[in-house]
């Protein structure tokens, strides 16, 4: 029967980098070893290997573990089978098919070491994440400075959505972006640029809308800078008002702002809405995003979620604990929305309306204003 001591003994005799090199490329970057991750496709090696600690971590897909985890994941093995495979490499005879031949319970020291390694990986990931964000922010500042300001509907996406550009820009040259995890993005000249900022107005990343979409694309594509920060970042439209209205995408937020004249926030996705609400609470302490407005607070600002009428949008709105509203369409409105397919680049014949930009296109901005002012 193999015991803890035996496991530790032949485990330490196998170099993790050797196992990686048998299935993928391993290279040295300074004093550290990195491999092209065997668990996801990437162009730039992002899987760190620590032979001394016998541990690996991929910054791209977040797979991690020791030599046993590597063998289990790459060979689709159970833990006992991984032990048998490693034992064979170390020249130790183990037959896991024989009853009673394998018994293993990690010691307190091993569990403590595992927790220590996990914490070290977490801290290193935070450092790497911050470094990636800062690098992307530096590039975002350069691209934003090199882009030109636009007004009105001076981009096909804005024209199709029927909304104006509020301090947006358009690229004048092509860009090619890459990230440490191997992701890449080609941005063409003429792309619409929307900034992502934090509560201190620091520019962290950019969102791009290409100058045209393919005929087989149902929605206008949009892309974020690879490696850039998204969580908790937003874009403000207009000056301060008594109410602060939050929406998912730019077109929805622009529609809400154009209808009400009130300050509106682009959250960029339903999944980012709660983080943005928390950031806004820090920016505007008089706001209470959990009870909509702070009773008795001077100049209290009410936060309202202008949610998309789909499952993800409503779920995200409810999760914030803030008052929310969503658009409702009657049968005539749905038919009207679909009839717009022949007159706009943003609507497909079988599409269903779901956000306040759709509402504005169907019923008009005046009706949208009445809808939002009732809240």
Angle at 221 between CA 211 and CA 350, to 5 degrees: 115
Number of domains in the chain: 2
In angstroms, the CA 67 to CA 39 distance is 15
Q: What is the CATH classification number for the domain harbouring 22?
A: 3.90.580.10
Instruction: For residues 80 and 189, state if they share a domain.
Output: no
Residue that is last in its domain, among 74, 90, 105: 105
Could you tell me if residue 234 is inside a domain?
yes
Could you tell me if residue 149 is inside a domain?
no
Residue 6 tokens, joined: 């035996």
Q: For position 272, what pLDDT does the model report?
A: 95
Q: For position 231, what pLDDT does the model report?
A: 94
Could you tell me if residue 147 is inside a domain?
no
Q: For position 102, what pLDDT does the model report?
A: 52
| pLDDT tens column, 118-129 | 677 778 778 888
> Which residue range(s) make up the domain with 227?
154-373
**One pLDDT digit (tens) per residue for the chain, 375 residues:** 455 445 666 666 778 998 999 899 999 887 789 999 999 888 788 888 988 888 888 887 888 888 888 998 898 888 878 887 877 776 665 555 554 445 555 567 766 766 776 677 778 778 888 988 999 999 999 999 999 999 998 899 999 999 999 999 999 999 998 765 556 788 999 999 999 999 999 999 999 999 998 877 778 899 999 889 999 999 999 998 989 999 999 999 999 999 999 999 999 999 999 999 989 888 877 565 444 444 444 456 788 999 999 999 999 999 888 889 999 999 999 888 888 765 554 566 667 899 999 999 999 999 999 999 887
The count of other CB atoms within 10 Å of the CB of residue 112 is 11
Instruction: For residues 91 and 158, state if they share a domain.
Output: no
Instruction: For residues 173 and 91, state if they share a domain.
Output: no
Could you tell me if residue 96 is inside a domain?
yes
Instruction: For residues 165 and 277, state if they share a domain.
Output: yes
Q: For position 244, what pLDDT does the model report?
A: 93
Residue that is last in its domain, among 105, 138, 173: 105
Instruction: For residues 287 and 221, state if they share a domain.
Output: yes
Contact (Cβ atoms closer than 8 angstroms) between residue 169 and residue 191: no
Nearest to 38 by CA among 51, 53, 20, 16: 20
Instruction: For residues 66 and 201, state if they share a domain.
Output: no
Could you tell me if residue 126 is inside a domain?
no
Give the Å distances, CA to CA, from 187 to 210, 211, 293, 310.
7, 10, 41, 30
Residue that is last in its domain, among 66, 86, 105: 105
- What are residue 263's phi and psi, to 5 degrees? -65, 130
Instruction: For residues 305 and 365, state if they share a domain.
Output: yes
Instruction: For residues 301 and 232, state if they share a domain.
Output: yes
Q: For position 290, what pLDDT does the model report?
A: 42
Instruction: For residues 95 and 166, state if they share a domain.
Output: no
Instruction: For residues 163 and 69, state if they share a domain.
Output: no
Could you tell me if residue 127 is inside a domain?
no
Q: For position 291, what pLDDT does the model report?
A: 41
Could you tell me if residue 279 is inside a domain?
yes
Could you tell me if residue 145 is inside a domain?
no
Instruction: For residues 206 and 277, state if they share a domain.
Output: yes
| pLDDT tens column, 67-93 | 888 998 898 888 878 887 877 776 665
Give the Å distances, CA to CA, from 366 to 195, 235, 266, 328, 347.
28, 24, 21, 16, 21
In angstroms, the CA 134 to CA 180 distance is 13
Instruction: For residues 266 and 361, state if they share a domain.
Output: yes
Q: For position 342, what pLDDT does the model report?
A: 55
Residue 80 tokens, joined: 């006992």
């Amino acid at each position: 029967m193999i015991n803890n001591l035996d496991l530790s003994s032949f485990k330490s005799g196998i170099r993790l980098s050797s196992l990686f090199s048998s299935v993928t490329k391993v290279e040295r970057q300074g004093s550290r070893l990195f491999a092209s991750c065997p668990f996801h496709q990437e162009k730039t090696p992002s899987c760190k290997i620590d032979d001394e600690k016998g541990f690996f971590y991929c910054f791209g897909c977040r797979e991690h573990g020791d030599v046993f985890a590597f063998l289990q994941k790459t060979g689709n093995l159970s833990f006992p089978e991984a032990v048998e495979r490693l034992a064979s490499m170390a020249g130790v005879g183990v037959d896991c098919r024989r009853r009673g031949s394998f018994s293993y319970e990690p010691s307190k020291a091993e569990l403590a070491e595992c927790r220590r390694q996990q914490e070290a990986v977490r801290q290193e990931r935070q450092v790497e994440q911050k470094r990636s964000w800062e690098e992307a922010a530096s590039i975002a500042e350069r691209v934003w400075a090199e882009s030109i300001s636009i007004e009105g509907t001076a981009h096909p996406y804005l024209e199709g959505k029927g909304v104006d550009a509020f301090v947006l820009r358009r690229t004048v040259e092509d860009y090619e972006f890459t990230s440490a995890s191997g992701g890449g993005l080609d941005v063409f000249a003429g792309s619409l640029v929307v900034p992502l900022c934090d509560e201190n107005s620091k520019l962290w990343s950019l969102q791009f809308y290409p100058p045209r979409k393919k005929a087989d694309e149902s929605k206008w594509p949009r892309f974020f800078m690879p490696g850039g920060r998204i969580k908790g970042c937003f874009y403000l439209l207009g000056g301060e008002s008594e109410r602060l209205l939050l929406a998912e995408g730019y077109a929805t937020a622009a529609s809400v702002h154009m209808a009400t004249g009130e300050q509106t926030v682009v959250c960029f996705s339903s999944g980012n809405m709660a983080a943005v609400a928390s950031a806004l609470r820090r920016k505007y302490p008089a706001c209470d995003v959990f009870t909509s407005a702070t009773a008795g607070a001077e100049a209290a600002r009410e936060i309202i979620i202008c949610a998309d009428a789909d499952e993800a949008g409503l779920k995200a709105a409810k999760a914030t604990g803030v008052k929310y509203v969503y658009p409702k369409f009657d049968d005539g409105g749905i038919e009207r929305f679909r009839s717009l397919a022949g007159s706009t680049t943003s609507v497909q014949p079988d599409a269903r309306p779901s956000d306040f930009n759709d509402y504005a296109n169907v019923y008009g901005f005046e009706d949208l204003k009445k809808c939002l002012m009732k809240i």
